Every structure is written in C-alpha cells, then in structure tokens.
Amino acid sequence: MKEAFFFVQTFDAPKEAVFRAFSTAEALNAWWGPAETENSVVRLDFRPGGTFHFKMVAGGTVSYGRFHYLRIEPNELLEFTNAFADEDGNVVPAPFPMPFPEEIHYRITFTEEKGKTVVSLTGRPVNATPEQEESFRSIHDSMQEGFGGTFDKLVSYLENSEL
C-alpha cells in the first residue's frame, strides 16, 4: 500500500467559510499555492469532473498545476488529483530532477470543533512506480512546510475576508 502524506491545520472560522475558500476563483487567487510564488487561477470548474488550472510565478520562472475534482461534498469533503501541468492544463512531469509521481490523489475533510474548523489532508501517489513513491516519501517534510505556508495564507485570507 502506498504511504500517505498527512497534513492537519485548524482554522478559527466556520467550516462553511473554510470550504468556500476552496471553491471560488477569487478566494483561490488570494491564498492557494506556495508562499514564495505569485499564483493565479487560469480556469476553475468547481464540480466533480471539473478542473482547477493555476499558474505559479517565482523568480521569473512560470509553472502550472491542475486539480481534477473527483468528489465534492460541500462543507465536508474534497477529493481531487493534483499534477503539474502545461499552460493548457495537460499533465506534465514535475519540474525538478527526481522521479516524482505525475499525479497525487488528495482527500481533504472539513470538521468543526468548538467553532473552529479542522482541515485534514491526505495525499497518495496515483499509478506511481516504486521509485516515484520513494521520491514522494522523501519529500514529506518539505511538503509539510509547503502546505504549512500555503495554509498560513489561507489563515490570513480568512481573517481578512467577510465570513
């Protein structure tokens, strides 16, 4: 069985507001993506079978990513595959020198506890070779940092938006 990546963060906001931040281009433009990049939504079709295609710019380098939504249960669950993409949204290999899986399946749950929302994210490689799975495992620590920075941007977005 593929080893999963886990990330959990608690937000001081109702789960409807946190979920909504994953569902609109305006919100995603404000917070999604690595903290060190300038990110923008190219296309968002937020429905099962739909796609979120986004652009990331860092130090003059442009890259793209995309989600393919599998399951959406409002305020409860998001499931999607995530991949690096080209400017048209087609899946491309990761832009770094390691055998990385082309797609990662993510499952995000939203639970509310005492007025706060706990977001739990689980990620697993899709159709990966053993070598790609090992590369995925080898960067779990940096993925923790990356999702931490991204979700810190979500904290700021939620603090500064009208819930």
pLDDT of residue 161: 85
Neighbours of 62 (CB within 10 A): 11
Write the CATH number for 155. 3.30.530.20
pLDDT of residue 163: 60
Which pLDDT tens digit goes with each residue over 17-40?
A: 999 999 999 999 999 998 889 999
Q: Which of 57, 64, 28, 63 has its CA nearest to residue 45?
A: 28
pLDDT over 60 (residue 150): yes
Domain count for the chain, please give it: 1
pLDDT of residue 1: 46
Neighbours of 71 (CB within 10 A): 11
What residues make up the domain containing 153?
5-160
